[in-house]
Copies of this chain bind each other. A is one copy, B any other.
Amino acid sequence: MSPPIAPSIAHEQHRLIHDIYVLLDDGDRRVLQKVNLSPLEFSVLQRLDTAQGRRLTDIGAELLCVKSTITRLVDRLEAHGLVRRTPDPDDRRAQRLLLTPRGLALRDEAIRLHDAAVERRMGLLEPAEQQQLRMLLEKLRAGLSEDLESADQ
């Protein structure tokens, strides 16, 4: 049997999520390009503030990418004057990452653009459908997170 194998229902859903993610990601890239950010850079900026700061490792954990990725991504953001590293007062190994005023302005502009695009695209579903979808996705995410934890060991 050389031709493709009949896909199961679960498989079909998996593929749907994949396709939708790719479409959403593509749209995100287009929008964020207007403020010269990659989706990952945007995700980092979204998680920052100007006062308290966050540790690089924590951000990396949330974004499910390795520490070195964050290191270099932050290098770029810092070179563009969007963020600033400061020593962590509680742990001399750690750095706290802060938004600069310029970073704050850019982040808010990016959020504005991104939100508008997201609203438009998710608005393809009726409010009731969105509600339903959200419930299902939340359940799925919770389950998958657990699944990941157990796989880690």
Contact = CB atoms under 8 A, between A and B. Distances in A.
How many copies, total? 2
A49 B141 contact: no
Nearest to A9: B130
Contacts of A115: 8, 10-11
Contact of A148 (B3, B23, B47, B138): B23
29 contacts: A2-B50, A2-B51, A2-B104, A4-B46, A5-B111, A8-B119, A9-B134, A10-B118, A13-B133, A13-B134, A16-B137, A16-B141, A18-B21, A18-B24, A20-B140, A20-B141, A23-B147, A26-B148, A27-B147, A120-B147, A121-B143, A121-B144, A122-B140, A125-B136, A125-B139, A125-B140, A132-B132, A133-B137, A136-B136
Contact of A10 (B4, B99, B119, B151): B119
Contact of A13 (B14, B108, B111, B122): B122
Interface in A98-153: 99, 104, 108, 111, 115, 118-125, 129-130, 132-134, 136-141, 143-145, 147-148, 151
A119 to B, nearest CB: 5
Interface residues of A, number: 59
A35 interface: no
A79 interface: no
A12 interface: yes
Contacts of A99: 2
